[in-house]
Chains A and B, each alone.
Chain A
């Protein structure tokens, strides 16, 4: 990829892309690699768990720019709620590749967060504006993490992966990421009725060798559901379909092009089970033919969730965190309900006690209440003859507090806290 012309000082994002595309056919290869979603573990760097905010323009893919001598990363592209992104956020290059950081908006820098041992990248911590560029040649293999200091909290973070293969099955074979995208399969727009037991969430069962899906659970107005309707498993997982009610089958609706799942179209009853091992990553959708119109539909996602750490631990943690938040929500809701009921309960308790205890005596005492006697003053004194000494003391104390606060705020806190604006 060629260096940008010097006369192109007002760099627009489009302009940079055009200049880049004009010189390098390899960019096309890079764009294609974006689609293949080579999974790379950045240890949570792109999430909000790391320092700074979550990176909105990192979609789980590492742009493959291997095989090129020079690669451009734009600094300050439109992302993260402003011009606060690196474009692309994550890029894979060969060792010895020169990465040109091109500033496309103002007040950004490149601060190195982490780099492989033996690497000597120092970044460019000076804050610069649109039109500026800076380049570094990456020699040492490994993951380089960097960010823009003024916009770290916005999620302006990036990574350069040096070495390793991102194309084909190489980097992607261990934990391919597959998005849980079912299209409109679970709605009534697809064949059959809407799956009422699908709430939009995909049960995460990654990292397990065997996973059970119940066939004919109570759902969709009868025993017409798969439980769970959508499940995510790791490649190589055996899914056991266990019939828990009668007259169901498993018919494959859609599967990845190179997968060979044939389902189990024979209609069977409770107690029957059937299993299949899913090796090819992708989204599989299936249904029960007799109850398709009722919405008895299911899906299996094979592969890791995008954006996560890719491992089984990541999925499990997510699940637990969700369960925890529900628990706290219930505790909170319960507390609010209790606080609202408290006055009613208290008044009920108060009203009940006298009735249960001394009912007869209570009614007698109410009759005895009479007005207190009004006493005539023994001596009457004039207006000036009474000295409200207590009131005077109170006023004096207030006065002293006021004077003290005034002296403290103005002379100690304000004038004493130099320097002060004097002109």
Chain B
């Protein structure tokens, strides 16, 4: 088969492009550290998530030096904490969200960021985030959960480390 040299050129370029796409994904995972939300959060009893070992009373906990855990219970049509009282976490710290639902499938998305996950009843979505700057993020439910789905929102307040010291956050030992 005779292939024109121009055709050889763009065939080669296409293979380079595919290789570059794969390299990008590898870089994102190994270099930039982008992670997927998996099933490592474990399962809980959807009727009473706090009864389970891997879910605490909803709220913010300090789990180590610069490490925080936030337990969020989503239900129609509120995040607890988040909707009634904002979730306050420090900047430049490793914040791990544990999100579960006690009724139907919800979503948990920090608007305009890459932080988002599906919230499935009986399943804990575990996601670790590092907030670089002190600012307010808004939480929306982005999985249709019922008639007032559009009204389901909350707030994450990222405050500076200094401001956060004054906060009284219970310390717990993870693992």
Interface residues of A (CB under 8 A from B): 81-82, 84, 106-107, 126-127, 149-154, 383-384, 387-388, 391-392, 395, 399, 402-403, 406, 410, 414-415, 417-423
A419 to B96, CA, bound (A): 13
B167 within 8 A of A: no
Given A419-B129, A420-B32, does the pair A81, B147 have CB atoms closer than 8 Å?
yes
A residues near B131, Cβ cutoff 8 Å: 419
User: In the complex the two chains form, is B78's CB within 8 Å of A422's CB?
Assistant: no
Report the minimal beta-carbon distance from A390 to chain B, rounded to whole angstroms: 11
B34 within 8 A of A: yes
Report the minimal beta-carbon distance from B119 to chain A, rounded to whole angstroms: 14
User: In the complex the two chains form, is A421's CB within 8 Å of B6's CB?
Assistant: no
Interface residues of B (CB under 8 A from A): 2, 4-6, 9-10, 13, 17, 20-21, 24, 28, 32-37, 75-78, 80, 83-84, 94, 96, 110, 112-115, 117, 127-132, 146-148, 150-152
User: In the complex the two chains form, is B147's CB within 8 Å of A421's CB?
Assistant: no
A to B CB contacts below 8 Å, 15 in the list: A106-B75, A107-B78, A127-B78, A150-B77, A151-B148, A151-B151, A152-B151, A154-B148, A384-B2, A406-B17, A415-B34, A419-B114, A423-B35, A423-B94, A423-B96
User: In the complex the two chains form, is B78's CB within 8 Å of A150's CB?
Assistant: yes
A150 to B153, CA, bound (A): 9
B residues near A388, Cβ cutoff 8 Å: 4, 6
A418 to B151, CA, bound (A): 25
Give the residue name and chain of the B residue nearest to A152 (CB).
Answer: B151
Given A383-B4, A402-B17, A410-B24, does the pair A421, B35 have CB atoms closer than 8 Å?
yes
A residues near B76, Cβ cutoff 8 Å: 107, 150
Report the minimal beta-carbon distance from A187 to chain B, rounded to whole angstroms: 37
Give the residue name and chain of the B residue nearest to A388 (CB).
Answer: B6
Give the residue name and chain of the A residue nearest to B129 (CB).
Answer: A419
A414 to B117, CA, bound (A): 15
A84 to B13, CA, bound (A): 60
A149 to B147, CA, bound (A): 13
Give the residue name and chain of the B residue nearest to A392 (CB).
Answer: B6
Given A420-B114, A422-B33, does the pair A151, B77 have CB atoms closer than 8 Å?
yes
User: In the complex the two chains form, is A417's CB within 8 Å of B2's CB?
Assistant: no
User: In the complex the two chains form, is A422's CB within 8 Å of B35's CB?
Assistant: yes
User: In the complex the two chains form, is B114's CB within 8 Å of A414's CB?
Assistant: yes
Report the minimal beta-carbon distance from B116 to chain A, rounded to whole angstroms: 8
User: For the complex, would chain A's binding face be called helix, strand, loop or mixed by DSSP majority?
Assistant: mixed
Given A384-B4, A421-B115, does the pair A153, B147 have CB atoms closer than 8 Å?
yes
A415 to B34, CA, bound (A): 9
User: In the complex the two chains form, is B84's CB within 8 Å of A422's CB?
Assistant: no
B residues near A107, Cβ cutoff 8 Å: 75-78
Report the minimal beta-carbon distance from A123 to chain B, rounded to whole angstroms: 14
Report the minimal beta-carbon distance from B78 to chain A, rounded to whole angstroms: 5
Give the residue name and chain of the B residue nearest to A382 (CB).
Answer: B2
A329 to B36, CA, bound (A): 51
A residues near B36, Cβ cutoff 8 Å: 421
Give the residue name and chain of the B residue nearest to A107 (CB).
Answer: B78
B residues near A154, Cβ cutoff 8 Å: 147-148
Report the minimal beta-carbon distance from A405 to chain B, rounded to whole angstroms: 11
A403 to B21, CA, bound (A): 10
Among A153, A384, A410, which residue has its beta carbon within 8 angstroms of that of B5? A384
A106 to B78, CA, bound (A): 10
User: In the complex the two chains form, is B10's CB within 8 Å of A421's CB?
Assistant: no
Report the minimal beta-carbon distance from A404 to chain B, rounded to whole angstroms: 12
A residues near B4, Cβ cutoff 8 Å: 383-384, 388
Given A150-B148, A150-B151, does the pair A422, B113 have CB atoms closer than 8 Å?
no
User: In the complex the two chains form, is A392's CB within 8 Å of B10's CB?
Assistant: yes
Report the minimal beta-carbon distance from A233 to chain B, rounded to whole angstroms: 39
A126 to B151, CA, bound (A): 16
A152 to B78, CA, bound (A): 13
A384 to B24, CA, bound (A): 36
A402 to B24, CA, bound (A): 14
Given A151-B148, A423-B96, does the pair A418, B78 have CB atoms closer than 8 Å?
no
A387 to B8, CA, bound (A): 13
A383 to B131, CA, bound (A): 60
